[in-house]
Chain A
Amino acid sequence: MISNNIEASGPKPKHLTIGRIGLYFFIITCALFFLMPLYVMIITSLKDMDEIRSGNLLYIPQKLSYYSWPKAWSEACTGFICEGLRPGLINSLKITIPSVIVSVTLGAINGYALAFWRFKGAYFFFGLCLFGAFIPYQVMVYPLLKIESAIGIYSSLPGIILVHTIFGMPILTLIFRNFYSSLPIDLFKAARIDGGNFLKIFFYVIIPMSAPITIVAVILQVTGIWNDFLLGLVFAGRDNQPMTVLLNNIVQVKFGVVEYNVDMAATILTSILPLAVYLLSGRWFVRGIAAGAIKG
């Protein structure tokens, strides 16, 4: 198995050679390219429209103007409704928090049952579930919509939460199963001898050991669900539109003057949460990627 440790080992070279100067030059150039859109996003949101029209995209604002931020937050229009992104933030929170809790719990239970309580046929369904991760959403969107309408939860908060739970299930089941499979099996056997049953062992033995993988799973789901657009658009309904959908509606407005500074402020507002999660979680985010990609 390939390690999912990506930290460097060994000392760093002490002397700068021509080759290494070239290396640094190249990697810094790459870094500037990657940072450019973020930089442009931030400075554009701090310029007024005159400066945007006449000035250089890449220059810092000559005169700071902040009005685009409150406007993006609470006044920008989508169609005839001018409430900005604020309702989207609340909706996104209302969607993300329960979806993360439900989907991670389900993933943990699935992973636990698959790792320790295998029964005949369980792995067939596990395979089927993993296969689900690769089916394009477009194949499932309409039939799923029909199923949800039949149950009566289409276009509602429970509806979108269920959808996120369904589409998060394959990857979460996989990473929890892999994690639990890597735990020492003797631990489980000892708990069995002590008379533990399915639930008892889960609560008293497994959950206390699940912190690292749960952090990984939560980060994966928080960013994934927050950034979702398609499912929110189809399943959340008009009253629960997440931030990404509102953002797109605000920016793609077909009439009126286009205010690029407001658009960029709105774009930043939408990406603050996933960016913060990414920056604060650091190594855990990377682990999430590795956990999803590496099979145990």
Chain B
Amino acid sequence: MNFTKNIAAKIALLPMIIISLTVFVGCIIYSFVYSLTGSKLIPALNYVGFSQYERLFKSRKWDVAVENIFIYGFVFTISCLVIGFLLAVLIDQKIRGESLFRTIFLYPYAMSFVVTGLVWKWVLNPTYGIEHSMHLWGFTWFELDWLVNRDLAIYAVCIAAVWQGAGFVMVLMLAGLRGIDEDIWKSLSIEGIPKWKSYIFVILPMIRPMVITSLVLIAAGVVKVYDLILALTSGGPGYSTTTPAMYVMENFFSRANLGQAFAASIIMFISVVCILAPWAYYEFYFRNKEAKV
């Protein structure tokens, strides 16, 4: 291989290559190596095998964090996809004021997670929030104490997250729906198939790539959730809404327990790979094969 051939492009891509290798690959290796050490306040190379991982899996707090991320991931992903699709279908009905509705459904996505968290913290405030309003209206039985309820606080996080993310899914799904040929709709209506049936059994499979893309982007965001929870519940009440990301950050920056934080972050990384691998396989391998046939 001639090294000087196309040299300008090689130089231009040097920053990308360096960053990819040092940050994206290097940091994972660094974290993994130090997750095998007993590092406390500063990174130290005192090898302790996999005992950080053992400790991690025995930790009650990590258990809660993992359980939370599963609840959050499941509820948030499914709700976002269902509501996003529903909104896209509604918008797709040639309604008046379409762009106004689109603007309304998407605006939360332009806001910061911190803002979303703080707003919902106020709306769901058990003393002055929606609950109070309902009581003033005479619905004294109404209860909405999710933020101070250990079992329900994580669902409050889900509401805020869906409020912010549903518009994003709507846009992607709408792009899919608008790509459907008019002729397909015509033939469906000639066949006399009800519209809702057409959407679920014909159109949804046709926009499968969009559904999968939304699913992957939403799911990849799930593992990262941090700011939103910090603003909304600060992980509380107690540590009932803590997540793996918070567990990592806490061990890095306030508990000076680096080894533990590295081990937890490596587990986070592995779980992201597990979400991505089937998709990447489908996208790059399976599809290429399909295209060749």
Contacts and interface: CB of A to CB of B under 8 A. Distances in A.
A, B assembled together: yes
A129 interface: yes
Given A142-B262, A198-B9, A264-B122, A270 B115 contact: yes
A4 B173 CA distance: 10
A271 B103 contact: no
Q: In the complex, which range does the number of interface residues on chain A fall in?
A: 35 or more
Nearest to A285: B110
Interface stretch (A36-44, A70-78, A79-87, A207-215): A36-44
Chain A facing B: main interface SS: helix
Nearest to B113: A229
B269 A132 contact: no
B115 A113 contact: no
Contacts of B104: 31, 34-35
Contacts of A40: 119, 122-123
B19 to A, nearest CB: 5
B261 A135 contact: no
A37 B122 CA distance: 9
B9 A122 contact: yes
Contacts of B95: 12, 23-24, 27
A143 interface: yes
Interface stretch (B50-58, B146-154, B223-231): B223-231
A53 B128 contact: yes
A271 B111 contact: yes
A67 B167 CA distance: 34
A155 B8 CA distance: 33
Interface string A139-163: 1111110110000000000000000
A57 B103 contact: no
A143 B110 contact: no
Contacts of B167: 34
B76 interface: no
Given A5-B175, A57-B133, A223-B110, A248 B230 contact: yes
Interface stretch (A93-101, A185-193, A273-281): A273-281
B111 A198 contact: no
Interface in B45-63: none
A182 interface: no
Given A125-B17, A129-B20, 8 more contacts: A113-B9, A134-B276, A138-B226, A139-B31, A260-B128, A263-B122, A275-B107, A278-B110
